Structure 1
Amino acid sequence: MGCSVNYTGVPSQFSLTCYWLGGYPAPQLQWENDGKILSNGTLDTLLVTLNSSEYTDKPKPTCKGQHTITNEIKVDTCNVHLGYPNLQSHALRTCIKGENVTLSCSVFGANPPAVITWLRNVSNPNVEVRSGAKYQIVQIGNDSFLTIVNCSKEEDEGNYICKSENGVATKEIYIWLDVTTPHNIVGLVSAIMILFLVVVALITGTVLYCDPQIYIKANPFRKGESEVLVLVESEEEEEMQQVGDSVVNTPYTDAEPSTPAVANGNIYKHEVLFHSPPDNISSDLLSEVSEETEGEHLEEDF
């Protein structure tokens, strides 16, 4: 024996079905609600149609069945639980003009299962939304989705109604769709790029001005100005380098600056360095070096 409840498709109307199959003779079936007999008969399946106004949710509708075989009586019962549909959705949705947006609506707690429809609150009575090129409706289980293609502020902004009905009750929930105009993204990006280039130019100019290794002193636009080129002879540069290296590598004992000499109007400054000979040098070699040094000094005096 079994029971079921179904929505007939007529608002505020549902049907109760009770069946007990396989017995002979046919059983006696009876629907009751809150002690009140709704319908009865001797048959395998008993169907009764009720309006929601006749239904009270205190007890559950019950079907009683009785099989009589000779002197044996078999009794069975089943019942159904009726439930109101409850809706859940987002009260506000936003769509950018020219794009698509999807509204969703979920129903729970409904028995029999509810049917979901979408309406537009643009007239009285409300206009039902049907699937097509502009609107696409998809229902998966107890969830319904309405997709609005290429939404516009003039045609699509406003209230949308998700309506759920199962014969026991009818519930509605309102969803407001706000259509906004896209901002000038191109202008904003251009302003950011210009600001970035200005900052890079300022940083580059500061670095080139402050760093003497990079700063460009030459002006390609000036004309008629002379340039000064300083030449240094390679031989003099090598001699100066050798003198500097000998001063660093040789143990320093004493130094005495010599008096600057004047020749041909130019002043030359020489520096005479005195070095102490090593301890293991021979006396003959030391005397020869002393004689050569004295000879060089005499030549310089002349």
Structure 2
Amino acid sequence: MNIVASLALLCLSAAAAVSGNESTETVLSAAPGDFILLQCYIGANVTPVWTTWMKDGQVVAGNGSYAANPRFALKQDGTLTISEAITEDSGSFLCSSALPDNRTINARVQLQITNIPSTHPDCMFVQAQDTSSVQLNCSWFGAYPTPKLRWGEDGDFQVTNSLNVTLNSSMLHDKQKVTCTALHQLLKQENQKSCSITLRAPFPEGTPLVTVLEGTNLTLTCSETTSLPPAITTWRKGQNQDLIVSGSRYILSFEGPAVKLTIVNISKDDERYYFCRSENALGVRELEVYLTVKTSSSAYTGAVIGVFIAALIMGSAFIVVKVLYSRRHTICLGGGFMQAEDSGDVLDLVDSDDEQIFHDTVPQLHPLANGRHTTLVQIHRIPSSEDHEDTETAGTDPQPPEQKEEATEEAEDLVSF
């Protein structure tokens, strides 16, 4: 722990009266944690009658009174001691001491506690209604002696704890980074501290298309959270973008970053474009919202159309099911749904009632050895497209008589029943 003493050197004038007052002033610097001695009077074997110490107009120690701060103590010779000095001990100390020879000694000590804050400077915006410029503030409190601050790279350092700067909008652009640098006499150049702000243009967000029923109330919401400095957001209407203010028809409300517009008792005249406009020093951006107003009749018409379409779909499904059911045998037998019956041969099945007529009209042959009757049946083939082609071929290339006889014999086959 360092011990720092302040010597209040008194230059006594030989011509001074016995009851005269003597005063002096000195400046003392110390670091946090030091043990400090503030001496009021230095004399050989002289003990003051009384001594009082004041700091910034308040008594901190004196004869017959206790020290206002437990770290402060008054010695018999009038010296004020401060243990474990802190930044708040900085200030102006005044000592008044009465000597045995009726002289009064006044000593003033300006105490400076050097300090470098462990934190970086603070960069922030200064709120303003004018969007043509940006006001920034850089502060670094707790540093002693007073630090030097500078905005940007080309500016001059100024000895201050707080520095404001105004930047014109023409000098700014989106995502621009602005830096404040702090210097201190106890801080090395490579260890300098700084803070910065990144500027951002506004970007309002919301629902661009809204549909509402006539006669109801509607609330349009627009949020803007990305702009730096914070943008000013307003609602406007129509192609002329007339500014909307709160009244009986329109109600404006703010919930954090959201700006809400409530339209009361909506009519067909409210069907138009609405604009959520956000503006800061970096630019202006708008969110277009188109409001469609539906009347009660249009809503009823829509419901009727919906019911008609549903009925049409159900009717079509019923017809398809009915067709499938009517052709179930064809589908189950593998014939296909739309496949037509195209067979070259026709086989007629005779019912039981017509069986006797069939036997009477068809010639019967003599019984065979097994006792069964044999009926002579000629199978006639229905001409097809292939048979027609064969007929044309036969006309151009006649068959020999032998082949014709064989064909006649093959046509007259015997079929037993």
State the distance in 1 between where 2:254 and 2:132 align. Answer: 22
Given the alignment of the two structures, is residue 143 of structure 1 paired with residue 261 of structure 2, yes or no?
A: no
State the distance in 2 between where 1:48 and 1:174 align. Answer: 35
State the distance in 1 between where 2:249 and 2:124 align. Answer: 38
Name 1:109's counterpart in structure 2.
Answer: 226
Kept after mapping to 2: 8 A contact 1:12/1:169: no
User: Which of residues 34, 46, 57 in structure 1 aligns to 2:163?
Assistant: 46
Kept after mapping to 1: 8 A contact 2:175/2:200: no
Q: CA, structure 1 residues 75+92, in 2 after alignment: closer, same or farther (shift >3 Å)?
A: same
State the distance in 2 between where 1:169 and 1:7 align. Answer: 17
State the distance in 2 between where 1:41 and 1:11 align. Answer: 27
State the distance in 2 between where 1:169 and 1:185 align. Answer: 42
Alignment of 1:69-88 (within 5 A): 75-88=192-205
Name 2:284's counterpart in structure 1.
Answer: 170
Unaligned stretches of 5+ residues in structure 1 = 193-302
Greater relative contact order structure (CA < 8 Å, 6+ sep): 1
Kept after mapping to 2: 8 A contact 1:7/1:166: no
Kept after mapping to 1: 8 A contact 2:176/2:199: no
State the distance in 2 between where 1:186 and 1:164 align. Answer: 39
Kept after mapping to 1: 8 A contact 2:174/2:201: no
Q: CA, structure 1 residues 141+16, in 2 after alignment: closer, same or farther (shift >3 Å)?
A: same
Deviations 1:258-296 (A, max 9, x none): xxxxxxxxxxxxxxxxxxxxxxxxxxxxxxxxxxxxxxx
Given the alignment of the two structures, is residue 22 of structure 1 paired with residue 142 of structure 2, yes or no?
A: yes
Given the alignment of the two structures, is residue 3 of structure 1 paired with residue 123 of structure 2, yes or no?
A: yes
Please state how far the C-alpha of 1:16 moved relative to its aligned partner.
1.3
Name 2:72's counterpart in structure 1.
Answer: none
State the distance in 2 between where 1:59 and 1:83 align. Answer: 7
Aligned CA-pair RMSD: 2.9
State, as a whole percentage, how many aligned pairs show the same letter: 34
State the distance in 1 between where 2:298 and 2:208 align. Answer: 28
Kept after mapping to 2: 8 A contact 1:94/1:180: yes
Alignment of 1:265-280 (within 5 A): none
Please state how far the C-alpha of 1:150 moved relative to its aligned partner.
0.7
State the distance in 2 between where 1:184 and 1:160 align. Answer: 23
User: Which of residues 223, 248, 256 in structure 2 aligns to 1:133?
Assistant: 248
1:22 partner amino acid = G
The number of aligned residues is 183
Deviations 1:28-50 (A, max 9, x none): 11000xx443x642211111111
Deviations 1:175-215 (A, max 9, x none): 111222212889999xx9xxxxxxxxxxxxxxxxxxxxxxx
Given the alignment of the two structures, is residue 161 of structure 1 paired with residue 275 of structure 2, yes or no?
A: yes
Please state how far the C-alpha of 1:164 moved relative to its aligned partner.
1.0
Unaligned stretches of 5+ residues in structure 2 = 1-120, 308-417
Deviations 1:74-114 (A, max 9, x none): 73111111112212221121222211111111223212222
Alignment of 1:278-293 (within 5 A): none
SS at match of 1:111: coil
Q: CA, structure 1 residues 45+104, in 2 after alignment: closer, same or farther (shift >3 Å)?
A: same
User: Which of residues 151, 156, 169 in structure 2 aligns to 1:31?
Assistant: 151
1:142 partner amino acid = P
Q: TM-score, with normalisation over the residues of structure 2?
A: 0.40
Kept after mapping to 2: 8 A contact 1:12/1:170: no
Given the alignment of the two structures, is residue 61 of structure 1 paired with residue 178 of structure 2, yes or no?
A: yes
Please state how far the C-alpha of 1:52 moved relative to its aligned partner.
2.5
Kept after mapping to 2: 8 A contact 1:7/1:13: no
Please state how far the C-alpha of 1:27 moved relative to its aligned partner.
1.7
Q: TM-score, with normalisation over the residues of structure 1?
A: 0.54
Name 2:267's counterpart in structure 1.
Answer: 152
Please state how far the C-alpha of 1:58 moved relative to its aligned partner.
6.4
Kept after mapping to 1: 8 A contact 2:173/2:199: no
Kept after mapping to 2: 8 A contact 1:14/1:51: yes
State the distance in 1 between where 2:278 and 2:177 align. Answer: 22
Given the alignment of the two structures, is residue 96 of structure 1 paired with residue 213 of structure 2, yes or no?
A: yes
Alignment of 1:229-268 (within 5 A): none
State the distance in 2 between where 1:168 and 1:135 align. Answer: 29
